[in-house]
Amino acid sequence: MSRNRGHSVRFSSARRRALYVIGVGVWLSGGLWLLFHYFLTKQGEFGPQSNPLEPWWLKIHGAFAFAATWLFGLLWGTHITVGWRSGRRRASGGVLTGLIFWLVLSGYLLYYAGDDRARSLISIGHWGLGLACPLLYWIHRMRKRASARSVRDREQTILEASAPERGSRVPR
Ligand code: HEM
Ligand code: HEM
């Protein structure tokens, strides 16, 4: 059976919107937590006191993180596997995919990692690379665009090679 039938590496506008809303949401909520946690604490009677908004950014971040894993699964079946077979943008796309894997894995470990020292290292690895996401995304996104026609022709060749007898067609 042909895999990825009918999927194009190009994003539909709905999918692009979902990517921006979830991507900005997960990045901003994590970034705001960092800002509040490291720079907006108050000196209280018994030492530094965290801002009441701080836990909210993490709650919001957790919600966006669920949405991000869902979106990643969707992109895997549509964009990533189709893009990989086209042989284009593999380096930047592969690095971006690896980064998302790491964010999901380290997000999980933040809940369950053993001791405080391990957790704080994982935390730095999580947000340090998380903050770099927009740059890697931008590099991947801004690579020279192929014409719509050459993308279609290439995807058609891939589909025919994986299911020649079915005569699968890329939707126009
Ligand atoms: C191994 C992984 C990946 C590969 C091989 C890959 C491949 C590609 C290719 C070939 C294009 C060019 C499409 C065109 O000709 O316009 C592209 C564009 C794009 N990629 Fe990826 N990609 C990968 C991962 C990702 C990931 C993880 C994301 C998002 C988180 C992403 C987001 C985008 C976006 C937004 C575009 C622009 C698409 C458009 O203009 O419609 N890619 N990718
Ligand atoms: C696929 C994307 C991501 C997933 C699945 C994810 C997941 C998670 C999870 C599960 C937590 C633990 C929440 C808690 O302790 O209640 C967390 C914490 C955090 N995330 Fe993310 N995250 C993602 C992307 C990002 C990005 C892009 C940033 C960049 C700013 C970021 C920054 C943070 C920060 C600062 C924390 C708090 C760290 C700590 O408690 O020590 N995350 N993330």
Q: Which residues pair with 58 in a beta bridge?
A: none
Query: 54-75 vs 90-112: helix axis angle to the nearest 10?
Result: 130
Confidence of residue 2 (pLDDT cuts 50, 70, 90): very low
Answer whether 30 contacts ligand 1 (Cβ < 6 A): no
- pTM for the full predicted model: 0.84
Confidence of residue 151 (pLDDT cuts 50, 70, 90): low
Round the average pLDDT of the chain to a whole number and report it: 87
Taking the CB of residue 77, how many other CB atoms lie within 10 A of it? 12
CA distance to 6, 55, 68, 129, 133, per residue, from 77 (Å): 11, 34, 14, 24, 21
**Total residues found in the chain within this entry:** 172
Q: Answer yes or no: is pLDDT of 122 > 80.
A: yes
Closest residue by Cα to residue 99 from 74, 56, 134, 146: 134
Closest residue to atom 8 of ligand 2, CA basis? 107
Read off the amino acid at residue 141. Answer: R
Residue in the block written with tokens 């990045």: 27
Span 141-167, mean pLDDT?
Answer: 64
- 6 in the Ramachandran plot: left (φ > 0), alpha (ψ -120 to 50) or beta? left
Answer whether 83 contacts ligand 1 (Cβ < 6 A): yes
- In tens, the pLDDT along 34-60 reads 999 999 988 888 888 889 999 999 999
Looking at the CA of residue 90, tell me the nearest atom of ligand 1: 5
pLDDT value at residue 1: 43
Q: Answer yes or no: is pLDDT of 146 > 60.
A: no
